[in-house]
Amino acid sequence: MAGRDGGARTEAIRIPPLNLEGSLGFPAGEAAGLVLFAHGSGSSRFSPRNNAVGGALRQAGLATLLFDLLSETEARDRGNVFDIELLAGRLLAATAWARTFEGTRKLALGYFGASTGAAAALVAAAQPGSEIRAVVSRGGRPDLAGKALDKVRAPTLLIVGGADTDVLALNRAALRALRCEARIEIVPGATHLFEEPGALEAVVDLARRWFLDHLGGRMRA
What is the per-residue DSSP string for 130-185? --EEEEEEES--GGGGGGGGGG--S-EEEEEETT-HHHHHHHHHHHHH--SSEEEE
Q: pLDDT band for 5, please (50, 70, 90 cuts).
A: low
- pLDDT value of residue 6: 54
Tell me, yes or no, whether 220 lies in a domain.
Answer: no
pLDDT given for residue 218 in this prediction: 46
Instruction: Give me the domain span that covers residue 108.
Output: 2-215
Q: Is residue 161 part of a domain?
A: yes
**Stretch 172-176: mean pLDDT:** 98
Q: Please indicate, yes or no, if residue 100 is contained in any of the structural domains.
A: yes
> What is the tens place of the pLDDT at every residue in 57-93?
999 999 999 999 988 888 888 888 889 999 999 999 9
Q: Which residues pair with 63 in a beta bridge?
A: 34
Q: Please tell me the distance from the alpha carbon of residue 109 to that of residue 57, in angstroms, as a whole number.
A: 13
Mean pLDDT of 204-219: 86
The total number of structural domains in the chain stands at 1
Q: What is the mean pLDDT of residues 13-37?
A: 94
